[in-house]
Amino acid sequence: MRYQMVFLLLFSICSLLNAQAADSSKIFISDFDTFIRLLEETHPDPYSVLGGRMEFNRKVQNYREEIAKAKNNEQFYFLLNRFLSSLKDGHTSVNNPQGQNTSNTLYLQVKLKTAADGIYISETSPGFEKHKGSLLKAVNNISVDTLLKKTIDIKASENIYGGYYNLISFLERSNYAGLLFPGNNGELTLTLQAPDKSINNAVVSYAAKRNYAPAKSQVKINEPNGLLYWDMIGEEKNIGYFAWNSTVSRELGEQILRDSPQNLENNLRWIYQSLPEIKRSANNEEAVKMIPSLYEQFYTLLKEMKEKKSEYLIIDLRSNSGGMTPLVPPLMYMLYGDKYLDYNFNLEYNRRLSPLFLNKIGMKSIDEYNKKYNTDYRAGDFQFGFMARSLKDLPPQEKRSLKNITYAGFGAEYVENLNGKPIYSPSVIVLVSPTTFSAAYQFMCMLQMAGNAVTAGVPSRQAGNTFMETTPFELPGTHFTGAISNAVQIFFPGNSEKGNILMPDFTMKWEDFGRYGFDENSEILYVLSLIKNGQIK
């Protein structure tokens, strides 16, 4: 009798587990179907990269079979992102359900950085100092090239530098490293090539806090905040330096506070990611005032440079992963005046008017959109157009109207009386890295095109001919969140190579970083050397 009871108990437990697995399977399949519907409604083109609509549907049907076998949220997440990786779209993604719980995150006790030809150790914790600057060759006896391919298969990358960027993200956080090394035991064995070319192995563990030795740079920069700031640098303090670490600013907060205050709290969370040192005020108006002003700081810098007759301005976008491109026009106008307004950028930018996009901008239907903008679109239509078209044929006063030279009216006090003349037009050098993405990439391109700016550093993970913007979504069953691109940009028509990777004018490989002792500001030291040697005019 006892054995019968045990058998019945085990049978009941197995039946319950099977029922739970069946329920999970239904939820995963239902959420996958919802996700595919949203993707087809919102994304500009999820088909072409897969060979057309039929092949897209073939892949969807194959993945439905795999998703039916998923046993937990992590497996479902992995399958969703593996499906998306083939789109090569950095703006379309699903958030990692484990990654959202930062309280459980453990960090690798070395920091990694991308050079144009690989990944190296840029900072270390105590005990690993001798490995600073070492080039990463393999992890757990798996080559970096193999890991790169696996990473690109797991998470969408627009080019190889997106692959490097994501690989570093996976390696540096324990809850992501498991995607590459299932059953990871809390440490990694790194195979490293030292600057002297010798090969060494280092076993590096994960810990609750980043414990890197304080970085000491040869470049001394006044950094009053983590978002945007300026200084005069160089041996004679005659070179302008402007860092912008996220394409947001006080002006964006003021615009949201004015036009859609109900969205301010969510946007402040985004802005304050770059400002951890500024405490959040309980009062929204006070919180916005604590955000640095973009236009005030840029104006002050250009005035200082003009007074000192400074020839060079370094704009640092190495840590800028994007934000709001519409913030850029006042900066361009301060630098170039009518030259900016007259320039024909030919940057094609087409936006899809999907139900999800309309919901993002606070509209319930396409009819509401048409009524507001006096248009005649249907749901799913494209709004074809260009970014920053030439205005040279317009009368001067119309061309220089505030709608063309300000951000929603903000910044007017710095540009409205320039009458087409710049405040100051130095030679501009833009510092870039794989982190430079989205709106930061667009700003870089505009500086190159209209201002003949040169670039230095490591290529951006952003492609020039690709999908853009993020439209958020949430799946009803698992409550997974993510974003889907709702626009496509074509910056380099007919040039697929340049449209995939935009190489800097002065590209930095591992040995280039080594020449400056793998200083955290090696890119700045490199540019200062180029200026000193007359290689940048």
Q: Which residues pair with 177 in a beta bridge?
A: none
Distances (CA, A) of 143 to 9, 120, 134, 171, 329: 48, 14, 15, 13, 44
Residue pLDDT, tens place only, 367-420: 999 999 999 999 999 999 998 889 999 999 999 999 999 999 999 999 999 999
CB atoms within 10 A of CB 104: 10
DSSP letter at 323 equals: B
Question: What is the pLDDT, as a whole number, of residue 99?
Answer: 52
Torsion angles phi and psi, residue 135, rounded to 5: -85, 130
Distances (CA, A) of 420 to 332, 338, 396, 398, 424: 11, 5, 8, 11, 12
Question: What is the pLDDT, as a whole number, of residue 15?
Answer: 44
**Sequence-separated (6 or more) residues with CB below 8 Å from residue 97:** 73, 74, 77, 478, 480
Residue 8 token pair: 């019945």
Q: How far apart are CA 330 and CA 471, in angstroms?
A: 26
Question: What is the pLDDT, as a whole number, of residue 138?
Answer: 98
Domain with CATH 2.30.42.10 in the chain: 105-207
Phi/psi region, residue 457 (left: phi>0; alpha: psi -120 to 50; beta: rest), is left
CB 312 within 8 A of CB 426: yes
The tokens 């990473």 sit on which residue?
A: 151
Residue pLDDT, tens place only, 442-461: 999 999 999 999 999 999 99
In this predicted structure, which of 140-144, 172-176, 465-469, 530-534 has the lowest mean pLDDT? 172-176
Question: What is the pLDDT, as a whole number, of residue 263?
Answer: 80
Beta-strand relationship, 93-94 and 481-484 = antiparallel
pTM of the model: 0.92
Residue pLDDT, tens place only, 334-351: 999 999 999 999 999 999
28 pLDDT higher than 70: yes
20 pLDDT higher than 90: no
Band of pLDDT at residue 108, cut at 50, 70 and 90: very high
Question: What is the pLDDT, as a whole number, of residue 423?
Answer: 98
Question: What is the pLDDT, as a whole number, of residue 14?
Answer: 45
Which ranges constitute the DSSP H helices of 123-263?
144-154, 160-172, 174-180, 250-259
Residue pLDDT, tens place only, 464-504: 999 999 999 999 999 999 999 999 999 999 999 999 999 99
168 pLDDT higher than 60: yes
22 pLDDT higher than 70: no
157 pLDDT higher than 90: yes
Band of pLDDT at residue 272, cut at 50, 70 and 90: confident
Question: What is the pLDDT, as a whole number, of residue 186?
Answer: 87
Question: What is the pLDDT, as a whole number, of residue 183?
Answer: 79
Q: How far is CA 462 from the centre of its chain?
A: 8
198 versus 11: the higher-pLDDT residue is: 198
Residue 114 token pair: 């991308």
Instruction: Give me the chain's average pLDDT, please.
Output: 92
Residue 360: is it exposed, middle or buried by C-beta count within 10 angstroms (0-12/13-18/19+)?
middle
Chain length of the chain: 537
Residue pLDDT, tens place only, 186-244: 899 999 999 999 999 999 999 998 888 877 899 999 988 999 999 999 999 999 999 99
CB 74 within 8 A of CB 80: no
Question: What is the pLDDT, as a whole number, of residue 201?
Answer: 96
Which ranges constitute the DSSP H helices of 86-159?
144-154
Band of pLDDT at residue 31, cut at 50, 70 and 90: very high
Q: How far apart are CA 38 and CA 32, in angstroms?
A: 10
**Sequence-separated (6 or more) residues with CB below 8 Å from residue 427:** 311, 312, 313, 453, 454, 536, 537
Question: What is the pLDDT, as a whole number, of residue 213?
Answer: 81
Band of pLDDT at residue 441, cut at 50, 70 and 90: very high
In CATH terms, the superfamily for domain 216-249+292-345+395-463+501-537 is: 2-enoyl-CoA Hydratase; Chain A, domain 1 (3.90.226.10)
**Measured between alpha carbons, how far apart are the two ends of the chain, in Å?**
93
**Sequence-separated (6 or more) residues with CB below 8 Å from residue 271:** 227, 246, 248, 252, 253, 291
Residue pLDDT, tens place only, 51-87: 999 999 999 999 999 999 999 998 999 899 999 999 9
Phi/psi region, residue 237 (left: phi>0; alpha: psi -120 to 50; beta: rest), is left
105 pLDDT higher than 90: no
Alpha-carbon torsion, ordered 258, 259, 262, 268, to 10 deg: -60
Domain with CATH 3.90.226.10 in the chain: 216-249+292-345+395-463+501-537
In CATH terms, the superfamily for domain 105-207 is: PDZ domain (2.30.42.10)
Residue 329 token pair: 């026009």
DSSP letter at 293 equals: P
424 pLDDT higher than 60: yes
> What b/e string do you get for 181-205 counting C-beta neighbours within 10 Å, with b at 16 or more?
eeebeeebebbbbebeeeeeebebe
Band of pLDDT at residue 357, cut at 50, 70 and 90: very high
The tokens 């950094």 sit on which residue?
A: 223
Residue 49 token pair: 């990269």
Q: How far apart are CA 63 and CA 395, in angstroms?
A: 57
Distances (CA, A) of 401 to 258, 396, 407, 408: 21, 9, 12, 12
Beta-strand relationship, 312-316 and 239-244 = parallel
Q: Side chain identity at 215, as an amino acid letter?
A: A
21 pLDDT higher than 80: no
Residue pLDDT, tens place only, 275-323: 876 766 778 888 899 999 999 999 999 999 999 999 999 999 999 999 9
Q: How far apart are CA 293 and CA 510, in angstroms?
A: 36
Question: What is the pLDDT, as a whole number, of residue 229?
Answer: 97
Beta-strand relationship, 454-457 and 427-432 = parallel
